[in-house]
Homo-oligomer: A and B are copies of this chain.
């Protein structure tokens, strides 16, 4: 299932609007088929793995990160019926699909066809499906807040100078994260003062630059979409993963609305002193209330800098 979750990461974000799913079919200890949701959302991971496995799927075990879909489409039959027809002995699936067109029906179709179904969920699977699960569970995108800061929490000097706090490796990593998002959002002040491109400037990924959004009460500039409040992201369609790149006001606004699921902190080994803080007031009542909200997931060295990843505990 860990390998299937890793395969699923290949799908993101090009599988949009469909979730990035990974599938592996194993017969007698040998991998006979692998698949992940293809660009545009089709073929699904299961269809791709079944195509590769061919006849070998009979009496095999299929590992899929998400409950196979139960809904027919003009673009093809449902994965549940495809799988049921191909005769695997066993299905191991990760997350139950909260999409009401499937929710439990996918498993029922397979069980009714005599396939033994077992659920093995994990943190890696939940993370690989975060955008899809968040859309159906909470009706909004999965939100990552990125901060590039000094040791003392500044995102710029007092005079606004912010180039550069982090180094090449950290900035390249940010571009990779952009390439995995469906949309990027920044605050209005950041657009006005920095005129950021927010595109992906990594070789081979230039065409992955996501949709650009600005948090503003006014209108968005050409080439940008406007979001009038954090809650407004609930109205976005087809956006599974939203990546917020600051500034401090946008960070504070989303934190105040408790709409941040993941923090990426790129930290440079520098002190600035009296600089611009990375996060503005978000209405914290007490220090006690600040604790227990963020779980450390990773601490990664990127050149001279470090990347700290935190997940909101809910």
Contact = CB atoms under 8 A, between A and B. Distances in A.
Nearest to A290: B270
Interface in A274-291: 274-275, 277-284, 286-287, 290-291
Contact of A252 (B165, B273, B304): B273
Chain copies in the assembly?
2
Nearest to A285: B157
Contacts of A157: 284, 286-287
A249 to B, nearest CB: 10
Contact of A263 (B151, B265, B310): B151
Interface in A130-165: 147, 149-154, 157-158, 161-165
B291 A152 contact: no
Contacts of A275: 277
A162 B287 contact: yes
A255 interface: yes
A299 interface: yes
Interface of A is mostly: loop
Interface residues of A, number: 48
A306 interface: yes
Interface in A97-155: 147, 149-154
B151 A310 contact: yes
A312 B280 CA distance: 30
Given A269-B295, A279-B273, A151 B308 contact: yes
Nearest to A308: B151
B274 A310 contact: no
A251 B271 CA distance: 11
B151 A277 contact: no
Contacts of A273: 251-252, 255, 279-284
